[in-house]
Amino acid sequence: MATIERTQSGHVATLTINRPDKLNALNAEVLAELRATLAGLVTESTTGDPGCATRAVVLTGAGKAFVAGADIAAMAAMTTTEAARFSEVGHALCAALEAAPFPVLAAVNGFALGGGLELALACDFILAADTAKVGLPEVTLGVIPGFGGTQRLARRIGLGRARELVYTGRMVTAEEALRLGLVNEVVPGAELLARATKVAEQIGAVGPLAVAAAKRAMLHGSEIALGPACELERQAFAGLFGTEDQRTGMAAFLAKQKATFAGK
């Protein structure tokens, strides 16, 4: 049975991790299928009809969890070599989420623990249900986060706060996660998917080439000094001039009309 369900509405794709009996725990099968599904979306968006391409993705989980973590039963029997490979696959998936040419929004509908929170942290931003609980509890199992959690959490909320969460392994509520800057917005659980979809649709309605360029500039710029980062922005800004989207957007503005972007 497929562990990833994809639905499409206009320019928005919704990917649902569908392993509710295991709280959507990540095993090798789920990681591989999610990576393949994401790769398919990227291929469609870069080689297919730009007017029909996915421009934003909502990632969520089936049932009462987003992802409750990695599959502990599977990990318990791993050798050092197998653990290294498992971590490598998780890191590759998170890197692919960050590098996708469209934003990915995590709609955290319940528990997002361990690998689940690491998956959400690799998304562009996180919306959470008011009942969600998040954390990196790996130290309670005698290990540490293995899919980038020690690095992405610190970059999102600051080193001191990240250390406290990683060292204690404690879970935090959605409201505390909002105060920490870990999530962008908290909404009632029944409204989460609709809210995430609405945000994704807002992104899908603007210039997709511009959004992709902004995502690349912000991702790569955050890793280097301000001067070179601003040079990245300058090049990306200039490169968008002469595109059909740039002409369409500015002409629509001057005509006081709403632009419809072709992605060209």
β-bridge pairing 172-173 and 12-17:
unpaired
119 and 15 together in one domain: yes
Same structural domain for residues 46 and 99?
Answer: yes
Q: Which of 138, 164, 176, 223 is catalytic?
A: 138
How large is the average pLDDT for residues 244-254? 95
Q: How many domains does the chain divide into?
A: 2
Contact 11, 54 (CB under 8 A): yes
Task: Read off the CATH number of the domain in which 24 is found.
Answer: 3.90.226.10
Three-class secondary structure of residue 73 per DSSP: helix
Question: Are residues 210 and 247 in contact, defined by beta-carbon separation less than 8 angstroms?
Answer: no
Q: Say whether both 184 and 217 belong to one domain.
A: no
Q: What percent of the chain has pLDDT over 70?
A: 99
Q: Clarify whether residues 182 and 238 are in a common domain.
A: no
Residue type, 70: A
CB-based contacts of 134, cutoff 8 Å, min separation 6: 108, 111, 112, 113, 116, 117, 120, 128, 171, 172, 174, 177, 182, 183
Give the domain-ending residue among 169, 188, 204: 204
- Whether residue 21 sits in one domain with residue 151: yes
Would residue 138 show up in a list of annotated catalytic residues for this protein?
A: yes
Same domain, 8 and 121: yes
CATH code assigned at 235: 1.10.12.10
Given 33, 44, 118, 185, which residue is catalytic?
Answer: 118
Instruction: Spell out a b/e string for 128-149, using b for 16 or more CB atoms within 10 Å of the CB, else e.
Output: bbebbbbbbbbeeeeeebbbbb
46-77 pLDDT, tens digit each: 877 776 789 999 999 999 999 998 888 889 99
Q: Is 82 a catalytic residue?
A: no
* Domain assignment of residue 226, given as a range: 208-254
